[in-house]
Structure 1
Amino acid sequence: MSIRKIEIMDTTLRDGEQTSSVSFSASEKLTIAKLLLEELKVDRIEIASARVSEGELQAVKDVTEWASENNYLNAVEVLTFVDKDVSINWMLDAGAKVQNLLTKGSLNHLTHQLKKTPNQHFKEIEENILLAQKNNIETNVYLEDWSNGMRNSKTYVFEFIAFLSNLPVKRIMLPDTLGVLTPKESFDFVKEIKDKYPSLHFDFHAHNDYDLGVSNVMEGIKAGADGLHLTVNGMGERAGNAPMASTIAVINDFMHNIEIGVNETYLHTISKLVETFSGVMIPENKPVVGANVFTQTAGIHADGDNKNNLYFSKLMPERFGRTRKYALGKSSGKANIQKNLQELGLQLNDEDLKKVTQRIIELGDKKQVVTKEDLPYIISDVLDRNYEEKVKINSYVLTHSKGLKPSTTVSVTIEKEAFEESAQGDGQFDAFMNAIKQAFKKRKITLPKLIDYAVRIPPGSNSDALCETIITWKNDEKEFKTRGLDSDQTVSAIKATEKMLNIIIN
């Protein structure tokens, strides 16, 4: 099987920047350009459109200056227009050496947008390309709306390619501008062109309007495309372009006769950087780079991973500089929790593991998200019950109104005797404590004094599920602490108080 090298051109900084409301600063463009070429190792990058603005000109100058110093200048490309010498002069001012000339790839666009004949268009294109050559600028040519051109004006497309084949053009670029192609059309159209012009270099540029970007790219490669245009996170106009990460993973895993130079270890890094700079958040379920795509949620999957990695595939997270995670929630089984405990260096016996599992399921039923960092606190909360439960807070109502004192009504069982008390206080928890004191006063039991009250979120947790309340009590001369854990601060304090009540009643 012969190996075929495919060029990868990233157009995040040009086509990707056409995502609604996205604009990269000059420093952001330079940072992304460096990562794309030095770390991700794409073959080429398209970084801007000529004539856009002074800010864009400065951004291109920054990139070309760095690229020139680091031998990447011929890998930096700029979109230009058939506008006599305007774009060429802009390129010269910017220090760029490769133009991607935007031309009309369908008779429909040519006739209704430019209102010109093919011969008129071709003549102006030839003038531009020869002027570029005179100024030592390399030319690639975009056939805009090529996909519809192949559907509706194929004779024109082949006449155009025949014309370009006699000019100093390095690459002819075939864009599915409106993202309308099916995978079969992508294959058939590219193959028809490559069969007729096997010695010419053709890039395939897919958009994702029908969510077929990656499928169309695969078919374009099979048909003989020599290069691909991709964007980080699939950014681009409308539904965006074919996404970099998914496409690279697909090529590496399923197209064994294709060779690419992309370093997939950096796919996640560049994805997060572009997310930060663009403000466009990555969906959590986005393949390869999404937050959840290497997270097992179902307990049966974690159990299978413990038994000969039954739920592993070629998409191993380590390939992309990531790690596999096991979610904690209502679908968690003991295997999920054991995986997380192993990472923390903790062990529990079967009985304690069962208690912790039940607590995590309870939190999951409340739609709370639990993280690995929360686990030690859940364990502490669940296992810190070395007493017989003689006091139980059954229910309570906490009220807080403007201009009125907070009040609480509490139902509590003390050694099988039920009490219902109401009280006011300076805050909701103070009102709760006053109601509890009234119930215990009827049992002639004095409660210890509260001398310290601290609330914290488990360190390292990025979850909104839990906060821990630690209350220090003083009874006679003895001090002791109790902890409560819940998503609500007041409720966590109530749980800490319930532990205190059981300690003193025992």
Structure 2
Amino acid sequence: MTQRKIEIMDTTLRDGEQTSGVSFSVSEKLTIAKLLLEELKVDRIEIASARVSKGELEAVQKITSWASENNQLEKIEVLTFADSGKSIDWMVASGAKVQNLLTKGSLNHLTHQLKKTPTQHFVDIKSIIELATKNNIKTNVYLEDWSNGMRNSKEYVFEYLDFLTAQNIERILLPDTLGILTPDETFAFILEVRNKYPNTHFDFHGHNDYDLGVANVMEAVKAGANGLHLTINGMGERAGNAPLASVIAVINDFLKEVEVTVNETALNKVSKLVETFSGFRIPVNKPVVGANVFTQTAGIHADGDNKNNLYFNDLMPERFGRKRKYALGKTSGKANIQKNLQDLGISLNDEELKKVTQKIIELGDKKEVVSQDDLPYIISDVLDSDTIEKRVIVENYVLGHAKGMKPSTTLQLILEGFRYEAHAQGDGQFDAFMNALKKLYKTHSKKELPSLIDYAVRIPPGSHSDALCETIITWKREKNEFITRGLDSDQTVSAIKATEKMLNII
């Protein structure tokens, strides 16, 4: 079966930049444009609106200069306006060769915004198309508010399409400007247009106000749309546009009768770069590109994956340049931990695995997720603790720190089976703890506490969680030095745990 080719036009640099608070610099626009065309391999990109600013003109000039040198110029498009030729002059100065002319696709917009009749509007559009042709600029035409036009003034829409299909244009662009369409309407409206004008190229431009952007795009393709307008990470005004990554996955998996040339493996890379440049954060649960979408948290899922990939679907992370992860938290269980140990090349026996699992569950009750980078630290802490006989227990403590007052600690210690308590102040919470400890040992123990000669705090290298920090304390007793480590989500508590280990060693 011959597949029908669908053109993908990315409008992140134009419509996506209308996301509140987003503005790309000249160099950022050029970098994104190169990635979209060279790595993602979209068919076309809409990069700017004419006459916006001096910076916008400079950005378009940079992109068109690069595109011209790399045989990509006809893939570069700019939004223009019915403004008596001013946009065409701007296009000429920018070096761009394809205009996407914004016109009125509903009688409501035409009557109340432009205050013109259809005949007057058509005359304006004809003159701009002719002027563009004279300047070797190709024309695509947007029918702004087309979705409302089809709902409420269909006679006008088809009168306008009759006119446009007789003009020297490349494509007609049909936007759901306000994101109001349902999937059923999208299919019916596109099909009606497609059947009436079988030889015309139609693009569909979907917005996501009702979270139906991807569903509407799917129906537009089924109904015969020739092209789609999408943005990286679903950026765009209000609730944004139909997101590129989700649409590509849907087309590749569910619409086998059509073909797109977008390179799936580059989707995540480009998504992350656009996130960085724009400051527009990707929700962690966003399909395909979200941080959590290839992370299994429940232990039963990891167990099923071990047995026969029972919780896999066609959205394999490798397709998008990603890897499946198994989260470490209170619901993860032994199966998740074993998956992470395999990745790290670590093996534990059943008893050790049980103890590590319990530690992760305890941490999960405090912090939702522990990262794979934290795992070696947890293992070290758990197994190291098992080698020390606990004859001294830090039973309870109260750490106090108030403005204008010295930090203080009240400490309760079990020493050789007896419970003791002391209170002290210090220059910091841990210093106060140590002062209280010294009081207890001076009164109730024949042991002399070693000197603290080094104190270091670190988080696991590469860890993206805030679940753990490790405190490493070097002690000196007579002429010998030794080190103890403590692990906790709280820095002072991790130091206290390291100190408790020291007490049991001495």
Letter aligned with residue 435 of structure 2: N
TM-score normalized by the length of structure 2:
0.98
2:460 matched to which residue of 1?
458
Asked if 1 retains the 8 angstrom alpha-carbon contact of 2:330 and 2:368, the reply is no
What is the CA–CA distance in structure 2 between the aligned matches of 1:443 and 1:431, rounded to whole Å? 19
Q: Any idea what the Cα deviations from partners look like across 1:180-205, whole Å, max 9, x if unmatched?
A: 00000000000001011111110000
What is the CA–CA distance in structure 2 between the aligned matches of 1:369 and 1:433, rounded to whole Å? 31
Deviation at 1:94, TM superposition (A): 0.7
SS of match in other structure, 1:384: helix
What is the CA–CA distance in structure 2 between the aligned matches of 1:317 and 1:92, rounded to whole Å? 44
Letter aligned with residue 196 of structure 1: K
- 1:108-147 → structure 2 map (5 Å cutoff): 108-147=108-147
Is 431-440 or 6-15 further displaced after alignment? 431-440
What is the CA–CA distance in structure 1 between the aligned matches of 2:454 and 2:160, rounded to whole Å? 81
Q: Any idea what the Cα deviations from partners look like across 1:201-254, whole Å, max 9, x if unmatched?
A: 100000000000000000000000000000001111111100000000000000
- 1:401-420 → structure 2 map (5 Å cutoff): 401-420=402-421
What is the CA–CA distance in structure 2 between the aligned matches of 1:183 and 1:400, rounded to whole Å? 59
Q: Any idea what the Cα deviations from partners look like across 1:167-189, whole Å, max 9, x if unmatched?
A: 11110110000000000000000
Deviation at 1:426, TM superposition (A): 2.9
Is 227-236 or 338-347 further displaced after alignment? 338-347
- 1:360-375 → structure 2 map (5 Å cutoff): 360-375=360-375
1:498 maps onto 2:500 in alignment:
yes
Deviation at 1:437, TM superposition (A): 2.5
What is the CA–CA distance in structure 2 between the aligned matches of 1:320 and 1:283, rounded to whole Å? 17
What is the CA–CA distance in structure 1 between the aligned matches of 2:402 and 2:170, rounded to whole Å? 74
Of 453, 467, 470 in structure 2, the residue corresponding to residue 468 of structure 1 is 470
Of 478, 481, 486 in structure 1, the residue corresponding to residue 480 of structure 2 is 478
Q: Any idea what the Cα deviations from partners look like across 1:242-297, whole Å, max 9, x if unmatched?
A: 00000000000000001001001111111111111111111111100011111111
What is the CA–CA distance in structure 2 between the aligned matches of 1:344 and 1:388, rounded to whole Å? 29
1:198 maps onto 2:207 in alignment:
no
Deviation at 1:403, TM superposition (A): 3.7
Deviation at 1:368, TM superposition (A): 5.0
Gaps (5+ residues) in structure 2?
Answer: none
Letter aligned with residue 498 of structure 1: E
2:356 matched to which residue of 1?
356
Asked if 2 retains the 8 angstrom alpha-carbon contact of 1:368 and 1:464, the reply is no
1:249 matched to which residue of 2?
249
2:335 matched to which residue of 1?
335
Is 407-416 or 70-79 further displaced after alignment? 407-416
RMSD of aligned C-alpha atoms? Answer: 1.1
What is the CA–CA distance in structure 1 between the aligned matches of 2:148 and 2:402, rounded to whole Å? 65
SS of match in other structure, 1:140: strand
Q: Any idea what the Cα deviations from partners look like across 1:474-497, whole Å, max 9, x if unmatched?
A: 223332211101111111110011
Q: Any idea what the Cα deviations from partners look like across 1:434-491, whole Å, max 9, x if unmatched?
A: 2222323313332222222222222222221211111122223332211101111111
Asked if 2 retains the 8 angstrom alpha-carbon contact of 1:26 and 1:55, the reply is yes
1:59 matched to which residue of 2?
59
2:103 matched to which residue of 1?
103
What is the CA–CA distance in structure 2 between the aligned matches of 1:434 and 1:208, rounded to whole Å? 61
Runs of 4+ in 1 over 6 A off after TM superposition: none
What is the CA–CA distance in structure 2 between the aligned matches of 1:389 and 1:149, rounded to whole Å? 78
2:428 matched to which residue of 1?
427
Deviation at 1:431, TM superposition (A): 1.7
What is the CA–CA distance in structure 2 between the aligned matches of 1:36 and 1:404, rounded to whole Å? 58
Instruction: Check 1:235–1:315 CA distance in 2 against 1; reply closer, same or farther (3 A cut).
Output: same
Identity %: 75
Gaps (5+ residues) in structure 1?
Answer: none
- 1:30-179 → structure 2 map (5 Å cutoff): 30-179=30-179
SS of match in other structure, 1:156: helix
- 1:269-418 → structure 2 map (5 Å cutoff): 269-385=269-385, 386-418=387-419
What is the CA–CA distance in structure 2 between the aligned matches of 1:426 and 1:221, rounded to whole Å? 69
Is 145-154 or 436-445 further displaced after alignment? 436-445
Asked if 1 retains the 8 angstrom alpha-carbon contact of 2:179 and 2:207, the reply is yes
What is the CA–CA distance in structure 2 between the aligned matches of 1:498 and 1:426, rounded to whole Å? 20
Deviation at 1:376, TM superposition (A): 1.0
Asked if 1 retains the 8 angstrom alpha-carbon contact of 2:201 and 2:226, the reply is yes
Letter aligned with residue 492 of structure 1: S
What is the CA–CA distance in structure 2 between the aligned matches of 1:259 and 1:14, rounded to whole Å? 25
Instruction: Check 1:13–1:200 CA distance in 2 against 1; reply closer, same or farther (3 A cut).
Output: same
Is 385-394 or 285-294 further displaced after alignment? 385-394
1:445 maps onto 2:447 in alignment:
yes
Asked if 1 retains the 8 angstrom alpha-carbon contact of 2:20 and 2:237, the reply is yes
Asked if 2 retains the 8 angstrom alpha-carbon contact of 1:3 and 1:258, the reply is yes
What is the CA–CA distance in structure 1 between the aligned matches of 2:450 and 2:273, rounded to whole Å? 53
Asked if 1 retains the 8 angstrom alpha-carbon contact of 2:14 and 2:46, the reply is yes
What is the CA–CA distance in structure 2 between the aligned matches of 1:80 and 1:387, rounded to whole Å? 75
Q: Any idea what the Cα deviations from partners look like across 1:299-328, whole Å, max 9, x if unmatched?
A: 111111111111111111111111111111
Deviation at 1:387, TM superposition (A): 2.6
SS of match in other structure, 1:392: strand
SS of match in other structure, 1:410: strand
Letter aligned with residue 162 of structure 1: D
Deviation at 1:3, TM superposition (A): 1.4
Deviation at 1:406, TM superposition (A): 2.2
Aligned residues: 504
What is the CA–CA distance in structure 1 between the aligned matches of 2:29 and 2:453, rounded to whole Å? 56
- 1:177-188 → structure 2 map (5 Å cutoff): 177-188=177-188
2:217 matched to which residue of 1?
217
